Structure 1
């Protein structure tokens, strides 16, 4: 074998090796960029309901959608502390599988130090943190006559059906036998769940009084919710408290947020206007946190907020 031939072989081998290294580096960087945007889908281990708590006791129930296509698993955590005379506050958590995975004994201890809420985590019958197909349908409103799939090809537009299931079936079932303060009934959701919370606030539903929308995905079809928010009749929302959480909302630095900077600016401006009109709305921002990180950050904040609520800062007198 000639030296010339050997040098050509080595040259080609080195080029292939460099190319493969560059591809590996590119894939590594791509994964790093997307790590905040894509949820961790590793199967979950035991949660606090299975491990046990000194402050709460949990029960599990199951439900099905009317069309039989989606199957829910619901954890209900009841404080061991006696309810106040008006009853327990209650917070409904969307993406219940992942939410239960985030609940910890130190957090439940914190809640128990004030007025601990009943915790209702609405998940799906899966070992995964998220049922991405079911939640994409359940949590999104039908904003167009011909609802198109999202960027991942998932069917959207079932929020009205899911809200109907909550109002008529799920909430009455889980609250049966519990002393609940209906003036302190809240709902929390993140991403598409945040879209559902905002859409429910804008709906005619009177089931919830406290709304916690964390980093709602307001791109594509759902930016229209910001327009609807700016058109609401203040008198019809005076008894509803809205908390909207956002992460990386710096204009021109929209690297990790699910919502375009111009939509975030409009949302912030709209909430400021509503607040100036006397509506109980709050905008909480954590610019250092990504869209995915807002799930973990907003959940305990919502639970602690509802545990410390007093009647005077929930209800705003409605105009007569």
Structure 2
């Protein structure tokens, strides 16, 4: 990962282009657009990737998942491939297009695993609230402190679904390089990435790189930050984490979503410092003039186009 961060300087100009494209319409922490999605690249077909779709359900049968698996067409099937597992898969698939897939290096193009829900919406808010957030001291699914109409605290069960159902299916279709298998998530998904990192010793190491994009660190009275404080150094040594955040915030309350963190940069810096002090290879990447919502697209494109794992 050392060379990863030396390359970050080289992509500054590329990021500027991304920043400018968002700056014209960015509203800090604006609520996401929940209009139904149209067909994705998986429906249209690609000259560069072969897509498969599989359905899964949660252990309690309350949440229904749709997982897209994208395998590069021009590969040596006997050679393990790098891979990235991406949360909010419906919205991810809406952002993948032929131009992007064409840009990915043919000899090193990653396997794409987008984990979403059985919905036409870009985000399944109630389900992700359960799946992406860590439980309280009870260890049980309970009311979401930030959104009382939703439930939360099911990250352990969701992780088991990924490890016990999704991953075996992926491995049955393509060989993965365990040294280059990444996990990416945004907002509540960023919490899930961090929670998975903190609990990686409870299961066989599944991910080599963790990407937490604009994680909602103040959720539930900063439950995740407190978990980091309690974490033992031996559980974090040499774990590779990149926290990705925008530095643009609005002072207009009407334009802020419930996930706003007024101290986002300070909290992210403290998170990275705490993890690094316990032996993790943790870094913070700031995107100038991008908001919480903008970081979804910017971080994902950055990882894919610039091969950050």
TM-score band (shorter)? 0.7 to 0.9
Whole-Å separation in 1 of the counterparts to 2:243 and 2:77: 28
Unaligned 5+ segments in structure 2 are 1-24
Residue matched to 1:87: 80
TM-score by length of 2: 0.80
Say if 2:188 is the partner of 1:187: no
- The separation in 2 between residues aligned to 1:64 and 1:222, in whole angstroms, is 30
Bigger Rg, structure 1 or 2: 1
TM-score normalised over the length of structure 1: 0.77
Contact 1:249–1:261 (Cα < 8 Å) also in 2: no
Q: Secondary structure at the match of 1:112?
A: coil
Whether contact under 8 Å (2:29, 2:249) holds in the other structure is no
The whole-number CA distance in structure 2 between the counterparts of 1:142 and 1:273 is 21
Per-residue deviation, 1:207? 1.5
Q: Is the 1:44–1:101 Cα contact (8 Å) retained in structure 2?
A: yes
8 Å CA contact 1:251–1:262 kept in 2: the answer is no
Tell me the residue number matched to 1:284: 285
RCO higher in 1 or 2 (8 Å CA, sep ≥ 6)? 2
Structure 1 residue runs without a partner (length 5+): 1-31, 310-320
Structure 2 CA distance for aligned equivalents of residues 225 and 244 of structure 1: 14
Farther-moved stretch of structure 1 (133-142 vs 254-263):
254-263
Aligned-partner Cα distance in 2 for 1:231–1:214: 22
The 2-side partners of 1:101 and 1:33 are apart by: 19
Partners of 1:134 and 1:236 in 2: CA distance:
29
Secondary structure of 1:265's counterpart equals helix
Q: Which region of structure 1 is more displaced relative to structure 2, 272-281 or 198-207?
A: 272-281
1:130 is displaced (CA, Å) by 1.1
Structure 1 distance, partners of 2:250, 2:26, is 19
Does the alignment pair 1:178 with 2:179?
no
Q: Secondary structure at the match of 2:151?
A: coil
Aligned length: 277
2:213 — aligned with what?
A: 214
Is the CA contact 1:256–1:290 (under 8 Å) kept in the aligned structure 2?
no
- Would you identify which runs of 4 or more consecutive aligned residues in structure 1 move more than 4 Å? 32-36, 83-86, 249-257
Determine the C-alpha separation between the residues in 2 that align with 1:193 and 1:179: 25
Shift of 1:109: 1.6
Partner residue, 1:202: 198
How far is 1:274 from its partner? 4.1
Which of 27, 43, 47 is the equivalent residue of 2:40? 47
